[in-house]
Amino acid sequence: MKIAVIPGDGIGREVISATLHILQNLDLPFEYVYAEAGDECMRKFGVPLPDETLEICRESDAILFGAVGETAADVIVRLRQELDLFANVRPAKSIRGVNCLYDVDIVVVRENTECLYKGYEFEVGDSAVAMRVITRRGCERIIRFAFEFARREGRKRVTALHKANVLKKTCGLFKNVFYEIAKNYEFDVNDYYIDAGCLYLVTKPWIFDVIVTTNLFGDIVSDLTAGLVGGLGLAPSANIGERYALFEPVHGSAPDIAGKGIANPSATILSACMMLRHLGFGEVAEKVERALENVISEGKTTPDLGGNLKTMEFAEEVLKNIG
């Protein structure tokens, strides 16, 4: 199997190196093909996402992505649209040893290709206007994906977040399609306005299991859920389409700590676990995830979690714990 590896910028390179250190010691049938993208790529080649990188991604079974800086919209957003990675899956699970606000296990499923992130913006006189695009097809496939994910993972409830009381056409469509599709599944289902949903995520997050929502709302809510379990350093994600799949940590390139070797690679390691499950290596994913949780529970962490391990030292501890 071919894995496209895009380290990107800043700590992206460091956390990818740490993650590959683990993967390459697990006797997996993977060929890793490196590709360039991001700010440094822009400086070198004049474009943040070269055609060659896109071609490598299209020829791969999965993509493992680090982080990019100022060119993020031209790289990761474009990759999602070019490869039609319509489903963004972001788990938020409490880990023993991390000072979390709550003990939760929530998954946010976010539509990844529509909404305001289509980038349809223009100026009218001294005003700026953005078009929000929500299609029935887009609603149907992300909502169906959320229910199928919930069934596959043994989840019990699916909740839609929207703002249909104000955005009557776009969010109204999303809410209506949600309940149309829900009739085909045996789950507890409900919906909240996005503002109320954010309130409940802070005050009683245990009422949530799988959340499905539109692109912009999902971007915001999934950072909120990451905050519930210890921050972006522990937040993995998957971008899934019909043909392609890209896995990335949620955090950015963190130029303030780049090069110091102290970045937390947990989110990238957990993203790799999501990749392993996607490719059919669920047992290996379980071993890596369990090892990471054991290491953290023992207090062996990077500085962001109160420890003193370097990025690669943390990866080595995880590898040793896999046994």
Active-site residues, by number, are 117, 163, 195, 219, 223
Instruction: Looking at 118-214, list the stretches that DSSP marks H as alpha helix, in order from N- to C-terminal side.
Output: 136-152, 170-182, 194-203
Q: Are the C-beta atoms of residues 75 and 63 closer than 8 Å to each other? A: no
From 253, 191, 197, select the one nearest 225 (Cα to Cα). Answer: 197
Q: Are the C-beta atoms of residues 285 and 277 closer than 8 Å to each other? A: yes
Residues in the chain: 323
The strand pairing partners of 33, in sequence order, are: 4
The strand pairing partners of 188, in sequence order, are: 157
Instruction: Look at strands 2-8 and 31-34 and give their pairing.
Output: parallel
Which CA distances in Å does 93 have to 216, 226, 291? 22, 8, 15
Tell me if residue 158 falls in helix, strand or coil.
strand
> Which pair of tokens denotes residue 121?
């913006």
Q: Are the C-beta atoms of residues 224 and 198 closer than 8 Å to each other? A: yes
Q: What is the dihedral of CA 38, 40, 46, 49, to 10 degrees?
A: -20
Q: How far is CA 32 from the centre of its chain?
A: 21
- In whole angstroms, what is the distance from residue 222 CA to residue 236 CA? 10
Residue 151: other Cβ atoms inside 10 A:
14
Residue 295: other Cβ atoms inside 10 A:
25
* Distance between first and last Cα of the chain: 24
| Sequence-distant (≥ 6) Cβ neighbours of residue 290 within 8 angstroms | none
